[in-house]
Amino acid sequence: MRLVLTDRDGVLNEDRPGGVRHPDELRLIAGAADALRRLNEAGIPVALVTNQSAVGRGLLSPAGLQAIQERLVAELAGAGARLDLILIAPDHPERAGPRRKPGPGMLLEALAHFDVAPDEAVMVGDDLRDIEAAQAARCRRILVRTGKGAAVAAAGIPEGLQPVGVCADFAAAVDRLLGPD
């Protein structure tokens, strides 16, 4: 496995109803930053691929999103962790382009950026959209039970999206990815 693609809300940081709208609302999920650091130390690049429709809806300014991202990067750095690439789809859901998940656009951009084949990349997400985007990009896929993930797992993942690994959280997903097969 040569590339990890990860969602943001519900995977690295706690999701909120209506989304994170201010840096002070950003709360990392326990263990996520340390797990990211372990990927960094293993030499595996990590790309953040996140939908942020609050921007497209006019509920969050681009500068506001930038401030939240800067807080995320700073909090990760505090744990010695970094994201190697950050891709954001600000699209309004009703006017979504191919970058907005479940479209595969951001994932394909990340694959091209790191020159990695889809089957050597894994997407970690908490939403069915993440899994759909990964399937569309032909990447491997892991659903975490944090954020929306527990409800998604309970509802049952459609057969057409399988195989999907299900892990408790990002740290458990990284354990699986770095562990012996």
Task: Confirm whether 9 is a catalytic residue.
Answer: yes
Q: Candidates 61-69, 101-109, 115-123, 125-133 — which segment interacts with Mg ion by CB under 5 A?
A: 125-133
Is residue 7 at the binding interface for Mg ion, with CB under 5 A as the rule? yes
Using rule CB under 5 A, residue 10 touches Mg ion: yes
Residues 134/141, Cβ–Cβ less than 8 Å = yes
CB closer to Mg ion, 91 vs 126: 126
Task: Give the long-range contacts of residues 37-44, CB within 8 A, separation 24 or more.
Answer: 37/79, 37/80, 37/81, 38/174, 38/178, 39/4, 39/174, 39/177, 39/178, 40/80, 40/81, 40/82, 42/178, 44/1, 44/2, 44/3, 44/4, 44/177
Our finding on whether 149 is near Mg ion (CB under 5 A) is no
Q: Is 7 part of the annotated catalytic residue set?
A: yes
Catalytic residue among 7, 15, 126, 127: 7
The residue from 4, 6, 9, 108 that contacts Mg ion (CB under 5 A) is 9
Distance CA 81, CA 70 (A): 13
CA-to-CA separations, 179 to 1, 4, 31, 149, 176, in angstroms, rounded: 11, 14, 16, 22, 5
Site string for Mg ion, 126-145 (x = CB under 5 A): xx------------------
Between 45 and 50, whose beta carbon lies closer to Mg ion? 50
Q: How far is the CB of 134 from Mg ion (least distance, A)?
A: 13
The residues that touch Mg ion, with contacts defined as CB under 5 A, are 7, 9-10, 126-127
Known catalytic residues are 7, 9
